[in-house]
Amino acid sequence: MGFKLGIVGLPNVGKSTLFNALIQTAKAEVANYPFCTIEPNVGVVEVPDERPQIIAQREGAARVVPAVIEFVDIAGLVKNASKGEGLGNQFLAHIREVDAIALVLRCFEDEDIAHVEGTVDPVRDAEIVELELIAKDLETVEKRLARVDKPARSGDKAARKEVEHLKALRTILEAAEPIRKHTEELSSETLDYAEKVLFLLTLKPVLYIANIGESDLPEGKANLKTLKKKAEEEAIPLVCVCAELEAQLAELSQEEQIEMLAAYGLKESGLTKVIREGYRLLDLVTFFTVNEKEARAWTVPQGTPVVKAAGKIHSDMERGFIAAEVINFKDYLEVTSLSEARQKGRLRLEGRDYLIQDGDIVYIRFKA
């Protein structure tokens, strides 16, 4: 699997309530005080997708194995966390381990739940978290620069190249800008260095989750409009969720969930949208394999060659790869089964460099 979406935010914004509903367990303690979550909680969540069930029914597979994403509930950040406030660097280190950040922002009013900043302002809260991540990245860059500056001045070519990368990154961070907003102007070598050597936090893609109150459904209040404007300006996906409602839904049957959502004028749960957007944010695609035992959904990054996708199924398939029989799910719906697709010549034969497309049903030919 290996794809992690970190749930991040200030204390008391509803992160743990959201996480609990997300994985439909009570793993994360929920309490009305800062730093309720100390160690990150981890949950594996199915990606909503009816395609593997359809494939299983048509092909007579005994079971369905869906695609999944790992969600990590990270303890609340506070202003000056990068300087050690709250639990500071411990939290920032946990963020470093995820592939993308889901930033939960409080948009609901509740006098019984204290806000660490005193008032509800999701735009301000988003900026606080962003600035803490920027400050931590700047610290990382400056520490590395101090380490390689002397050998660079002594003529070390590798150190000189590092200094070039570090100065380009430092210029952006000193302007209080996240690295992800400047990927087009930075070289691929610098971006690769920022990701794989420095593990910079502000290079990670971000998703906003607006936590609204039940009385605000389905549209939210004025503070949500300002957050939407910020998200649009910065091209950040935004999902509206009522964490309290999602917690209630998690306790109901599927039929009861549909009825409750309809009562609030909603067609699907907020968590379904969060999972879908998280999957999209990580730029992932799903392909399928099927036999009599199971129909399985596999997750790979966009642009993955089929030979590498074969290796995800089994290393022997990658080593002994010959070719792949492929049909996309959309084309599959035009026939009754893979057997019919094969008879009608609808299965394509693809070589090792073919790039997996979302919805591909794949059969790997390989030699052991």
- State the binding site: 12-17
In eight-state DSSP terms, residue 78 is -
Distance CA 225, CA 102 (A): 19
Q: Which residues are annotated as a binding site for ATP?
A: 12-17
Closest CA to 273 of 233, 235, 232, 242: 242
Write the CB contacts of 48 (distance below 8 Å, at least 6 apart in sequence).
272, 275, 276
On the CB side of 200, how many CA atoms lie within 13 Å of its CA? 31
In the numeric block, which tokens belong to residue 260? 């409750």
- H helix runs in 241-337, sequence order: 243-249, 254-263, 270-281, 306-313, 315-319, 329-332
In the numeric block, which tokens belong to residue 333? 């719906």
Give, for 153, the enclosing helix (H) or strand (E). Answer: helix 122-153
Helix (H, G, I), strand (E, B) or coil at 73: strand
In eight-state DSSP terms, residue 181 is G
Distance CA 333, CA 330 (A): 5
Distance CA 261, CA 289 (A): 33
Q: In this structure, are residues 165 and 193 in contact, taking their beta carbons and an 8 Å threshold? A: yes
